[in-house]
Amino acid sequence: MRVTLIAVQSLDGFITKHDEPGTAFASTADQIHFARTLQSFDCSVLGGETYRVSRERIRTHAAPTRRRMVLTRDPAQFISDAAPGVLEFTSEAPVELVRRLAASGHRECALLGGAQLHHLFLTARLVDRVWVTIEPRLFGNGTAFLSGPADVSLGLESVERLGGSDALLVKYLVG
Ligand SMILES: NC(=O)c1ccc[n+]([C@@H]2O[C@H](COP(=O)([O-])OP(=O)(O)OC[C@H]3O[C@@H](n4cnc5c(N)ncnc54)[C@H](OP(=O)(O)O)[C@@H]3O)[C@@H](O)[C@H]2O)c1
C-alpha cells in the first residue's frame, strides 16, 4: 500500500494560519484539487486533533468508498462517531495501522495531517509521497508542517500551477 501525505501550507511552511484551527486559508483552487485528488484514495488517516477541528465536515462526507482512520490515544472518546469500514478510531502504532490497512486490501492511503501525524509517519518512514499545495501566503507563525525535528530527503516529481491560480502543487517522492 502506498501512503501519500497531502497538505496545504503557506509559503513559509505553516499548515494553519496563526492559531486558527482548520484550513480556511486554502484557495478555491486547492479545495477543488483536494476534493478531486481524494477520489483516487481508498483509505485515509488523520490525527485526533484534525478530526476534532473538522468533525462535522468529515462525518457529513464519510462514505465506504474511502475508509477514514483517526489516530488517537483514546479511541473511546469517539465511540459514538465510529462506523466500521467508514470512520474508525485507533490507538495502534502507525506501522501496525499501515500494515493492517494493507492487509485488508487497501492500495492507496492519504495521510491527511496534521503536524503530529506528519511527523509520526515521516519519521517512521511510512510515507511514500508528499503532495503539498503552496499557497502564496506568508503567516509568520501557525502550526508548522512537522511537529518536531526530522531530516527527510525528497525527490521532486512535478510542480504545477493549480487551476490558473497562484497556488503551486508540488509533488515529491520520499527518498
Ligand atoms: N493545512 C493542512 O493541510 C492541514 C491538514 C491537517 C490538519 N491541519 C490543521 O492542523 C491542526 C492539527 O494539527 P496537530 O498537529 O495539532 O494535530 P494532529 O496531528 O491532527 O492530531 C494530533 C493528535 O493525534 C493523536 N496522536 C498523536 N500521536 C499519537 C500517537 N503516537 N498514538 C496515538 N494517537 C496519537 C492525538 O489525538 P488525541 O488527542 O485524540 O489522543 C493527538 O492529540 C488543525 O488545526 C488542523 O485543522 C492542517
175 pLDDT tier (thresholds 50, 70, 90)? confident
Cα–Cα distance measured from residue 166 to residue 1, given in angstroms and rounded to the nearest whole number:
32
Q: Are 128 and 174 in contact (CB under 8 A)?
A: yes
Q: Is the CB of 44 under 6 A from ligand 1?
A: no
Cα–Cα distance measured from residue 122 to residue 132, given in angstroms and rounded to the nearest whole number:
14
User: In this structure, what C-alpha cell is assigned to residue 169?
Assistant: 502543487
Q: Is the CB of 115 under 6 A from ligand 1?
A: yes
49 pLDDT tier (thresholds 50, 70, 90)? very high
Provide the pLDDT for residue 150: 98
CA distances (Å), origin 97, targets 1, 27, 72, 137: 11, 32, 12, 34
Q: Are 142 and 11 in contact (CB under 8 A)?
A: no
Residue 67 — φ and ψ, nearest 5°? -75, 125
Q: Are strands 67-71 and 154-161 parallel, antiparallel or unpaired?
A: unpaired
Provide the pLDDT for residue 141: 98
Provide the pLDDT for residue 146: 98
Task: Give the model confidence (pLDDT) of 140-160 as tens digits.
Answer: 999 999 999 999 999 999 999
Q: Is the CB of 27 under 6 A from ligand 1?
A: no
Q: What percent of the chain has pLDDT over 90?
A: 99
Task: Give the model confidence (pLDDT) of 55-114 as tens digits.
Answer: 999 999 999 999 999 999 999 999 999 999 999 999 999 999 999 999 999 999 999 999
Neighbouring residues of 118: CB distance < 8 A, sequence distance ≥ 6: 5, 7, 111, 145, 146, 147
128-144 mean pLDDT? 98
Ligand 1 pocket, mutate which of 30, 72, 96, 98 (most atoms under 8 A from CB): 72
Mean pLDDT across the chain, nearest whole number?
97
Cα–Cα distance measured from residue 40 to residue 34, given in angstroms and rounded to the nearest whole number:
11
Q: Is the CB of 116 under 6 A from ligand 1?
A: yes
